């Protein structure tokens, strides 16, 4: 059976799954609430075994109801428990039942200015303020409570979020205002995509899924909005090679770029293509750079290209083109770009080539290319701001794919891959990879996988996964700060031989 945790859903879909569990499977809503509280409390105890003092921040909805139930469990296990209520109180339903259950054994307090200092004296703060229904920035005393919880977390107090950190939008991973900084988020029924992309990873901390024993049939006919990539997929995408294979079987990549002053970008892309398994890698670059690149990496075939005729000859011998690393935007760059785009070969388009593509009117569209923009480049391609892209990354990557065709990787935390069939999310990678040259490495890997015959969407997903996993290996060994693109290239070989 497919891993349920790999299926990513919208808030509306999760509400439908919850409804099916209650109405179609006969599980009372209050039973699901109690299961949620128990799963979250057990996860907290596993993460922090010596909890003695717990404060639960409760809102008026079912998320608050989960909090009241967790408070009862913590009290029963010998903890000192404080429940702080914000804004309106539950008026009906399971949340009201849960509050009554807590009042039978404990007391509640209204959030006040004095509450903030009290948060500094506990072991664990439980965020049960807002669930997946939030679509705006928190306001009033709830915003004050979130800010105080974050201040306590910065001073070493652990924070557990129930279902989703309050303030984070479940469908997009956008945080329009103050948002809980959770160390651990226990999410219920099914995975919400917003926890894993955009600002979600920064606020959610470690994410654990508790399905609440909802039967598998609640998922019948409910297509997830995305699939989370599993590194185990690499075994299927990158199988062992035939013992009789040769370099011609592994593809010939032509990399175009490296304008004056930007030799490093095309060198990183070339090295990455080699380490990702391309049989042959040719670099078409400025004449001044050719001898330097050949000396830096003799495995590369480097050609000085200063005319259309010279590039056309190289294109005729290639299987895949990658254009963009260090390409620039001058006359030479535009000539190289125009020839690459006109070629009838699968290609990867990145960096300056994306900026040149954004200037084309009407937009060019192809079914055999892979675009790999970061949010700024995505905004230029769509004619909108970077912040607009980041507010709804799913909508942005799907709009890019619809406009330009082929496959699109929207880079960033929780990179997204759209190919017109399935939206995939990569959960790997780390902040240390936020340095120059990382995109050039991804370009080289992507081109190498296309050259080895992987279908477009699979090549994109495999490249993003290998790239991110290599970065994680380096970070785990030596830390995130100071990680550079060359470190990732050095770690690729182990990742492409799963």
Co-location of 120 and 8 in the same domain: yes
Note whether 48 and 106 are same-domain residues.
yes
Report if residue 359 sits inside a domain: yes
**CA dist list (Å): 68 to 101, 111, 128, 308:** 8, 15, 9, 71
CA distance 286 to 332: 9
pLDDT at 350: 98
Whether 132 and 277 map to the same domain: the answer is no
* Number of CB atoms found within 10 A of residue 46's CB: 10
> Do the domain assignments include residue 61?
yes
- DSSP state letter for 54: E
Q: What angle do CA 319, 320, 321 make, to 5 degrees?
A: 135
Strands 7-9 and 369-371: unpaired
Of 185, 205, 223, the domain-final residue:
223
Same domain, residue pair 173 and 321: no
pLDDT score at 1: 38
Handedness of CA 400, 387, 471, 193 (dihedral sign): negative
Residue 378: which CATH number?
3.40.1190.20
Q: How far apart are CA 264 and CA 290, in angstroms?
A: 12
Same domain, 465 and 367: yes
Q: Which two tokens stand for residue 457?
A: 């969407």
> Based on the domain organization, do 202 and 150 belong to the same domain?
yes
pLDDT at 89: 82
CA distances from 187 to 1, 171, 196, 435 (A): 21, 14, 12, 31
In our burial notation (b when 16+ CB lie closer than 10 A, e otherwise), range 48-73 reads eeebeebbbbbbbbbbbbbbbbbbbb
200 & 258 share domain: no
Q: Which two tokens stand for residue 11?
A: 């808030």
pLDDT at 2: 58
Task: Give the residue ranges of DSSP H helices in 248-374.
Answer: 263-275, 290-296, 308-317, 331-342, 352-358
- Encoding tokens for residue 400? 């890019």
CA separation for the pair 189, 31 (Å, rounded): 13
HSE, side-chain direction, 13 A CA sphere, residue 360: 16
Phi, psi dihedrals of residue 178, rounded to the nearest 5°:
-60, 140
- For the chain, the domain total comes to 2
364 secondary structure, DSSP code: P
Q: What is the pLDDT of residue 28?
A: 97
Q: In CATH, what number is assigned to the domain containing residue 199?
A: 3.40.50.10260
DSSP string, 270-306: HHHHHHTT-SEEEEEE-TTTHHHHHHH-TTSEEEE--
Q: Which domain holds residue 350?
A: 233-495
For each of the chain's 498 residues, which pLDDT tens digit applies?
Answer: 358 889 999 999 999 999 999 999 999 999 999 999 999 999 999 999 999 999 999 999 999 999 999 999 999 999 999 999 998 887 789 999 999 999 999 999 999 989 999 999 999 999 999 999 999 999 999 999 999 999 999 999 999 999 999 999 999 999 999 999 999 999 999 999 999 999 999 999 999 999 999 999 999 999 999 999 999 999 999 999 999 999 999 999 999 999 999 999 999 999 999 999 999 999 999 999 999 999 999 999 999 999 999 999 999 999 999 999 999 999 999 999 999 999 999 999 999 999 999 999 999 999 999 999 999 999 999 999 999 999 999 999 999 999 999 999 999 999 999 999 999 999 999 999 999 999 999 999 999 999 999 999 999 999 999 999 999 999 999 999 999 999 999 999 999 999
- List alpha helices for 26-139, DSSP H: 29-47, 62-76, 93-103, 115-119
Q: How remote is the C-alpha of 3 from its chain's centroid?
A: 18
DSSP H or E segment with residue 469 = helix 456-478
Angle CA(375)–CA(271)–CA(311) in degrees, nearest 5?
85
Tell me, yes or no, whether 211 and 297 share the same domain. Answer: no
pTM of the shown model:
0.95
Rounded CA gap, 165 and 266, in Å?
41
Domain boundary among 223, 257, 274: 223
Q: Tokens 């040149």 map to which residue?
A: 356
Q: Of 192, 223, 254, which closes a domain?
A: 223
> How many helices and strands in the chain, by DSSP H and E?
19, 19
Q: Report the relative pairing of strands 423-425 and 416-418 from DSSP bridges.
A: antiparallel
188 shares a domain with 276:
no
Any domain includes 65: yes
Q: Classify residue 102: in a domain, yes or no.
A: yes
Same-domain status, 63 and 209: yes
Assess whether 15 and 157 both reside in one domain. yes
Structural domain contains residue 228:
no
Same domain? For 380 and 428 the reply is yes
- Position 114 in a domain: yes
């Amino acid at each position: 059976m497919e891993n349920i945790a790999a299926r990513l859903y919208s808030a509306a879909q999760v509400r439908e799954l919850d409804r099916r569990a209650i109405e179609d499977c006969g599980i009372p809503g209050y039973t699901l609430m109690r299961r949620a509280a128990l799963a979250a409390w057990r996860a907290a105890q596993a993460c922090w075994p010596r909890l003695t003092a717990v404060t639960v921040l409760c809102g008026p909805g079912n998320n608050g109801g989960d909090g009241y139930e967790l408070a009862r469990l913590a009290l029963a296990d010998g903890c000192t428990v404080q429940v702080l209520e914000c804004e309106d109180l539950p008026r009906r339903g399971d949340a009201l039942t849960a509050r009554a259950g807590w009042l039978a054994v404990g007391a509640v307090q209204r959030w006040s200015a004095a509450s903030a200092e009290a948060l500094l004296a506990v072991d664990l703060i439980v965020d049960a303020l807002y669930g997946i229904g939030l679509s705006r920035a928190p306001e009033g005393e709830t915003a004050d409570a979130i800010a105080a919880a974050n201040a306590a977390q910065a001073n070493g107090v652990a924070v557990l979020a129930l279902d989703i950190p309050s303030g984070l939008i479940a469908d997009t991973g956008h945080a329009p205002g103050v948002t809980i900084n959770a160390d651990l988020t226990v999410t219920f029924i099914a995975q919400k995509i917003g926890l894993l992309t955009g600002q979600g990873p920064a606020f959610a901390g470690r994410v654990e899924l508790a399905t609440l024993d909802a039967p598998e049939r609640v998922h019948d006919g409910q297509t997830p909005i995305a699939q989370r990539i599993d590194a185990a997929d690499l075994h299927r995408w990158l199988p062992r090679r035939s013992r009789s294979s040769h370099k011609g079987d592994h593809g010939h990549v032509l990399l175009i770029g490296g304008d004056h002053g930007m030799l490093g970008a095309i060198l990183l892309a070339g090295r990455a293509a080699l380490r990702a398994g391309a049989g042959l890698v040719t670099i078409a670059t400025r004449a001044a750079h050719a001898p330097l690149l050949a000396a830096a990496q003799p495995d590369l075939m480097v050609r000085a290209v200063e005319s259309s005729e010279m590039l056309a000859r190289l294109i005729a011998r290639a299987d895949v083109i990658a254009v963009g690393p260090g390409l620039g935007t001058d006359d030479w760059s535009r000539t190289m770009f125009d020839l690459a785009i006109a070629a009838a070969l699968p290609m990867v388009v990145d960096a300056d080539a994306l900026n040149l593509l954004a200037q084309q009117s009407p937009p060019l569209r192809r079914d055999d290319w892979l675009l790999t923009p970061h949010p700024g480049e995505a905004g230029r391609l769509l004619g909108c701001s970077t912040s607009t892209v980041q507010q709804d990354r799913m909508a942005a990557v799907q709009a890019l794919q619809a406009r330009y065709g082929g496959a699109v990787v929207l880079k960033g935390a929780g990179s997204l891959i759209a190919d017109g069939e399935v939206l995939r999310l990569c959960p790997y990678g780390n902040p240390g990879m936020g340095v120059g040259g990382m995109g050039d490495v991804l370009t080289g890997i992507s081109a190498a996988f296309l050259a080895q015959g992987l279908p477009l969407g699979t090549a994109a997903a495999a490249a993003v996964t290998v790239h991110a996993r290599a970065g994680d290996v380096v970070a785990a060994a030596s830390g995130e700060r100071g990680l550079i693109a060359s470190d990732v290239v050095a770690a690729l070989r182990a990742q492409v031989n799963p």
